[in-house]
Amino acid sequence: MNNATLAPDPSLVRERPEVYGDAHPKELLRAIVEDGEHLLPLENQHILAADQFDRATLLQLFRLAAKYESNPHRFSTPLQGKILISAFYEPSTRTRLSFESAWHRLGGDIMSITDRASTGIAKGASLADVGEMFNNYADCVVLRDTREESLSEMMGSRRIPTLSAGSGIEEHPTQAMADLYTILKWRPALLRADLPPAQRITLGIIGVPGKMRTVRSLLKICSVFPEAFARIHVFHDGAGADDSGLLPELRSRGLDIVEHDGGFDAVVPQLDVVYINAIAWVGNGFERHGGQYRLDEHTAFKDDAIVLHPLARGDELSTRLDHTARNWYFSQARGAVFLRMALLTCLVQRKGRVLDVV
Amino acid sequence: MNNATLAPDPSLVRERPEVYGDAHPKELLRAIVEDGEHLLPLENQHILAADQFDRATLLQLFRLAAKYESNPHRFSTPLQGKILISAFYEPSTRTRLSFESAWHRLGGDIMSITDRASTGIAKGASLADVGEMFNNYADCVVLRDTREESLSEMMGSRRIPTLSAGSGIEEHPTQAMADLYTILKWRPALLRADLPPAQRITLGIIGVPGKMRTVRSLLKICSVFPEAFARIHVFHDGAGADDSGLLPELRSRGLDIVEHDGGFDAVVPQLDVVYINAIAWVGNGFERHGGQYRLDEHTAFKDDAIVLHPLARGDELSTRLDHTARNWYFSQARGAVFLRMALLTCLVQRKGRVLDVV
Amino acid sequence: MNNATLAPDPSLVRERPEVYGDAHPKELLRAIVEDGEHLLPLENQHILAADQFDRATLLQLFRLAAKYESNPHRFSTPLQGKILISAFYEPSTRTRLSFESAWHRLGGDIMSITDRASTGIAKGASLADVGEMFNNYADCVVLRDTREESLSEMMGSRRIPTLSAGSGIEEHPTQAMADLYTILKWRPALLRADLPPAQRITLGIIGVPGKMRTVRSLLKICSVFPEAFARIHVFHDGAGADDSGLLPELRSRGLDIVEHDGGFDAVVPQLDVVYINAIAWVGNGFERHGGQYRLDEHTAFKDDAIVLHPLARGDELSTRLDHTARNWYFSQARGAVFLRMALLTCLVQRKGRVLDVV
């Protein structure tokens, strides 16, 4: 009798939209030979910087991420009995849930801190003491704070592994690991030992190295794989873009980095991968940069070029690209969960439960 | 030596108060023949409206709820390995914990969002993008927001089932399902195919259909079972009570609805069930309505009449009714957990683990 | 190629600092004969006061805590299928995570409330009704509130066991249990039936009994073991320090308590244990007291004396004591998790899963 009400609102009929870029984690998996030895440096480590591990360690990490992504329901209990403290003293949904989802999918338990006001820090507890307490309560800590120095203050007394989930303007290392993981899934051939120079890719980054932690961490992790990049173009709004002197250091590691103030339209036809971000976290708020840059269906992309974005996005990235093959930013967000699963497994020394050969 | 201190403060000696209405979920269980086929329409669905499913589907849902309630410890793992995002952008304890308890009792894991300020939405992320991300992190989403349109914005990109836990003034579908489940537990005979007209019940609703989502959803779900109700009396404060034109639509589905501005004392002796609510959620705040109505021990209830209330309550419902047989509102809150367990089980396609015949 | 970046920042190289006082929970374990009968009074109880149980019950509780602490990974599932509501209406990290960690380590699930603003209480729900709802959602409640009367209001309708995690200025019973547990781990001989008077210890407490819940609860639990204490010195800032008349009551139970306004330097060489706290929770804020007292490396401690502090600390306790044998405050915080594990196990009637003889 209620047939009328059974027909759902058409705006709510969900097609299952294809997320580009999820097709082939197995190709990356096959491109890397499993070698658990290289994951040893991750055990019980703090994760503060995107470039703190060597190439072999990162590759094995990517391999494990691809293994998880290829068969997301195969491993559901490696972290059973392990407890994560997920402490976000700066607002976040995406990154917090990404980490927590990763931990839950592996069977672990979680205690969340979602704002500073609800914590003992409000009554003057020192961060070092809070860190000391965390040792008693959990097996791992994921930490985000607006102050870069908070992480090192807390880590000083930490005996359990602690990951930065974004520290002020400094670093967002797991985001960068997920970024590179996405690029390697898209083109596993970049890992070939005999990669011809002509097959190196050209990466365009729209963002401000001096102010955006995502951009800083991406550039740093690229410097661990300099042979994969023919050139990296960085587009920003000019003066003060690299106050920290990061770019000279990275050039010395073998990256060919060119900075631009404008001129994106002339360069975009050469770019294999375009990474764009407009938000910089500064102090307790954020700034928007790069108002002159925008990606949409009229952008003169190279054939087969893909777009990455750490999200959340604003006007700089048109939603009209969402349903095109350029869209690897949703895949990037999806892959980040598996990358974090791989990293967390190694940090808490449970890799033995998921590797084929131990 | 401390005998004095061993005698507890008398105010804290807890009797185990009888909660009326919990006695017979089994009677409802026996009144409905199990038929898993009818639960198929629930698989992977969004739940936005109390009347979006047909009678047979709702009955099987109520049966499963009664099965859970009859033996609350029998099924503890059907949702093992499944992750719920519990996103409450509007303040709530009761509804959030009711959903989360339902999910936990079935063995699933949960990630909670308890306020908008701690989320990426604060930095301008679009709801559609947040919804897209949720696809990567979880298997199901429970969502409450003050804006009715938030749900459809987020659901547009959602590939995992999403339930409304209350949307502005529009709907609160699971509350209505729990309301009707309570009424059917109280009087399973209402489901008899040969129900004599004289045994139909008369329902009184104190509330404002145009402004209260609980009242709107209750009326809508009643319209799926029009044969059970002789008449529905709606009591409110007059003008503007049904701006949305809901009542004419429901009358066309077979409900005999009479509106009143006052005059409750004259009608209450005819009412089998009295449902009362005084709070309307409007925008970011709430309004109180129906100041002329109040239920207490002096109300001239019909013999055997029961009282329902979605809670939280104010002065409109006297606590002096709590320890009387009128009080089915505590049973209603208790049953809501089991109703939600049943619904969630079906949405994430785990009903095969709890049905006797699959 | 990135060898430079592989060398971690020296400030982040974590030694595994020795936490004093963790060495010998087994000694305490051996000092108490297991007898599950004495844990019966804990079943399904509300925990409001540090002195609500007798000596034998507390000893068995300490024994179970020592059992957990001696082998932290042995028992991971006693609370499987049980749900905790962790409701902190007053800011807290340490105590909340301590309780939640205890529950998770035993395999249970948790629903957290971390601030009053996100709850139904904001819309005027009565605490008694909230308590009634909690019965439906969980198996146990941990509750902190700035108002002392909140706990008894909510407990009135609670059929599931409820623990105070700190109530205004009144009590913090599990903190006191953890304090005494620490003292007994440090010196299990205090439990000897034939303890010579000369081996009783002298305890110094820097704090305000009339305003500090931690101090009040510690004094109350000491009164259950008066034979262990030769004398208790209480140091505060003078008038109004014991408005509540607690000290005369405790003296009548056999404690020899001496109050001081200043003069700490003269007494400290006699003290075996120095307990210090500077924060009093009053209303919605806190006060600092005892500015004249400070413990540091120049304090003239007795040989072998230890320091306890409920944390969070301020200037009253120098971090220069952290890496000395005086520091039992970190052990105290660590032990609190195991003490809470023991207490929670008994409250929800799962002690049968962890006792050797049942």
Residue type, A49: A
Question: Residue B250 contacts by C-beta under 8 Å, 6 or more apart in sequence?
Answer: B219, B220, B222, B223, B257
Q: Chains that contact B by 3+ CB pairs under 8 Å?
A: A, C
CA distances for B80 relative to A298, A350, B269, C135, angstroms:
46, 21, 48, 24
- Let me know: does B64 contact B33? Beta carbons within 8 Å: no
Residues 273-312 of C with CB under 8 A from A: 279, 286, 311-312
What does R_g of chain B's alpha carbons equal in angstroms?
21
The per-residue pLDDT for A159 is 82
Q: How far is C268 from chain A (nearest CA, A)?
A: 25
- The predicted pLDDT at position C260 comes to 96
Q: Say yes or no to pLDDT of A123 above 90.
A: no
Chain A CB contacts of C314 under 8 Å are 124
Q: Considering CB atoms only, which of C91, C101, C115 is closest to A137?
A: C101
Give the pLDDT score at A23: 61
Top pLDDT among B286 and C100 is at: C100
DSSP state of B192: -
Mode of pairing for the β-strands spanning A279-282 and A285-288: antiparallel
Is pLDDT of C138 > 80? yes
Alpha-carbon distance B51 to nearest alpha carbon in chain A (angstroms): 7
State the CB neighbour count (10 A cutoff) for residue B192.
12
Cis omega before residue C117 (within 30°)?
no
Q: What is the mean pLDDT of chain C?
A: 89
Interface check for B19 against chain A (CB to CB < 8 A): the answer is: no
Cβ distance of C9 and A48 shorter than 8 Å: yes
pLDDT at C107: 97
The dihedral over CA atoms of A91, A93, A99, A105, expressed in degrees to the nearest 10, equals: 150
Question: What is the distance in angstroms between the Cα of A80 and the nearest Cα belonging to chain B?
Answer: 11
Rounded distance between C-alpha atoms, residue C123 and residue C229, angstroms: 49
Q: Does pLDDT of A21 surpass 70? A: no
pLDDT in tens, A264-285: 999 999 999 999 999 888 887 8
Does residue A45 register a pLDDT over 80? yes
Q: How confident is the model at residue C21 (pLDDT cuts 50, 70, 90)?
A: low
pLDDT over 50 at A32, yes or no: yes
C83-88 vs A83-88, strand pairing mode: unpaired
CA distances B120 to A86, A277, B129, B284, C101, Å, are: 16, 15, 10, 19, 27
ipTM for the complex?
0.91
Tens-digit pLDDT profile for chain B (358 aa)?
333 333 444 344 444 445 666 667 999 999 999 999 999 999 999 999 999 999 999 999 999 999 999 999 899 999 999 999 999 988 788 999 999 999 999 999 999 998 766 554 545 568 888 889 999 999 999 999 888 788 888 877 768 999 999 988 899 999 999 999 999 999 999 999 999 999 999 999 999 999 999 999 999 999 999 999 999 999 999 866 777 889 999 999 999 999 999 999 999 999 999 999 998 888 878 888 888 999 999 999 999 999 999 998 999 999 999 999 999 999 999 999 999 999 999 999 999 999 986 5
Q: How confident is the model at residue C7 (pLDDT cuts 50, 70, 90)?
A: very low
- Give the integer Cα–Cα distance in Å for B86 and A128: 32
pLDDT the model gives residue C116: 65
Of the partner residues C12, C104, C333, the one whose CB lies closest to the CB of residue A48: C12
Q: Which residue of A has its CA nearest to C109?
A: A109
Query: How much is the pTM?
Result: 0.93
pLDDT of residue A6: 39
pLDDT at B20: 63
Q: What is the pLDDT averaged over residues A316-338?
A: 95
Q: How does pLDDT run across A170-193, given as a tens digit for each residue?
A: 999 999 999 999 999 999 999 999
When mean pLDDT is compared across A84-98, A290-304, B6-20, B166-180, the lowest value belongs to: B6-20
Which residue intervals of B106-226 are DSSP H helices? 127-137, 148-155, 173-186, 213-222
Q: Chain C: residue nearest A122 by CA?
A: C91
Q: Judge whether B333 is closer than 8 Å to chain C, CB to CB.
A: yes
Instruction: Please report the pLDDT score of residue A251 as a whole number.
Output: 97
What does the DSSP assignment read for C184-197? HHH-GGGG-TT--G
Q: What is the pLDDT of residues C265-291, one digit of tens each?
A: 999 999 999 999 998 888 878 888 888
Rounded-to-integer distance, Cα A290 and Cα A246, Å: 19
Query: Would you call B116 an interface residue with chain C, using a CB distance cutoff of 8 Å?
Result: no
Peptide bond into B312 cis (omega under 30): yes
User: What is the average pLDDT across A117-132?
Assistant: 68
CB contact, 8 Å: B177 with chain A?
A: no
Give the H or E element holding residue C260.
strand C257-261
Each residue's pLDDT tens digit, C23-81: 679 999 999 999 999 999 999 999 999 999 999 999 999 999 999 999 998 999 999 99
In angstroms, rounded to a whole number, what is the distance separating the alpha carbons of residues C51 and B5?
7
C77 touches chain B (CB under 8 A): no
> With pLDDT > 70 as the criterion, what percentage of chain C qualifies?
89
Q: Which residues of chain C neighbour B336 with C-beta distances below 8 Å?
A: 136
For all residues of chain A together, what is the average pLDDT? 89
Contacts for B96 with CB less than 8 Å, ≥ 6 apart: B86, B88, B112, B114, B142, B144, B165, C111
